[in-house]
């Protein structure tokens, strides 16, 4: 075989081998690309699923927070309405005509366990509404019940919207309308809520 033929054969064999290596490389590259693409798709799917799960969790949290805020606002409004009921009740007591006011105060005093020697403290306006003969009538009632009839007006006046304070020695009992409504508020709030919001 001549040298040219040998070189030609070597070149041909080298071309064939190069074509084989290139073909094999392309197959491996295609296989690698397929695996990489599948891994990438799987990874993207996982990320998308995680993102959706996080979004759903955040949405759920936002809904829960919004519902809690709504409940708080409703409770606040209900408490404001209940407070308004008590405020209106106090206003009605304060704005009674003098005869009705005197009757209410009389009933409060005769139902209180008076001994008959207490001081009655009111506001200046409250004392005026009750009139000059109020204490005399109270003492006559107490005497008719076998008690001492020595109740008297205190020289002291208090800032009361209505009602009175009873003082016997150093002990005082606040029977002002404000104090009475406040003392009954806890007991009555639930009943009022049932009436208003049932």
Q: Alpha-carbon distance 93 to 117, whole Å?
A: 27
Asked if 105 contacts 177 with a C-beta cutoff of 8 angstroms, the reply is no
In this structure, the answer to whether residues 54 and 110 fall within a common structural domain is no
In this structure, the answer to whether residues 54 and 147 fall within a common structural domain is no
Range of the domain at 178: 96-197
CATH number at residue 111: 3.30.2320.30
In this structure, the answer to whether residues 23 and 49 fall within a common structural domain is yes
In this structure, the answer to whether residues 101 and 52 fall within a common structural domain is no
In this structure, the answer to whether residues 83 and 148 fall within a common structural domain is no
Last residue of a domain, one of 95, 113, 138: 95
pLDDT in tens, 164-191: 999 999 999 999 999 988 888 877 777 7
Residues 113-136: b if buried by 16+ CB within 10 A, e if exposed: ebebebbbbbbeebbebbeeebbe
Last residue of a domain, one of 37, 72, 95: 95
Confidence of residue 30 (pLDDT cuts 50, 70, 90): confident
What is the total count of domains within the chain?
2
Confidence of residue 102 (pLDDT cuts 50, 70, 90): very high
In this structure, the answer to whether residues 86 and 129 fall within a common structural domain is no
pLDDT of residue 1: 62
The yes-or-no verdict on residue 76 having pLDDT over 70 is: yes
Q: Alpha-carbon distance 120 to 139, whole Å?
A: 12
Confidence of residue 84 (pLDDT cuts 50, 70, 90): confident
Secondary structure letter of residue 147 according to DSSP: S
In this structure, the answer to whether residues 84 and 103 fall within a common structural domain is no
In this structure, the answer to whether residues 193 and 101 fall within a common structural domain is yes
Handedness of CA 38, 41, 44, 49 (dihedral sign): negative
Last residue of a domain, one of 95, 110, 133: 95
């Amino acid at each position: 075989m001549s040298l040219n033929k040998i070189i030609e054969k070597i070149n041909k064999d080298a071309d064939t081998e190069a074509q084989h290596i290139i073909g094999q490389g392309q197959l491996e590259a295609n296989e690698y690309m397929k695996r990489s693409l599948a891994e990438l798709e799987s990874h993207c799917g996982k990320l998308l699923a995680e993102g959706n799960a996080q979004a759903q969790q955040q949405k759920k949290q936002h809904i829960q927070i919004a519902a809690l805020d709504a409940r708080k606002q409703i409770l606040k409004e209900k408490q404001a309405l209940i407070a308004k009921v008590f405020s209106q009740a106090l206003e009605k007591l304060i704005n009674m005509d003098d005869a009705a006011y005197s009757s209410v105060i009389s009933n409060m005093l005769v139902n209180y366990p008076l001994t008959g020697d207490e001081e009655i403290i009111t506001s200046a306006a409250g004392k005026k509404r009750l009139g000059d003969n109020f204490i005399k009538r109270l003492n006559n009632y107490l005497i008719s019940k076998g008690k001492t009839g020595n109740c008297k007006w205190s020289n002291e006046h208090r800032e009361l919207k209505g009602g009175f304070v009873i003082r016997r020695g150093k002990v005082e009992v606040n029977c002002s309308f404000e104090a009475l409504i406040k003392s009954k508020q806890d007991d009555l709030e639930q009943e009022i809520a049932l009436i208003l919001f049932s």
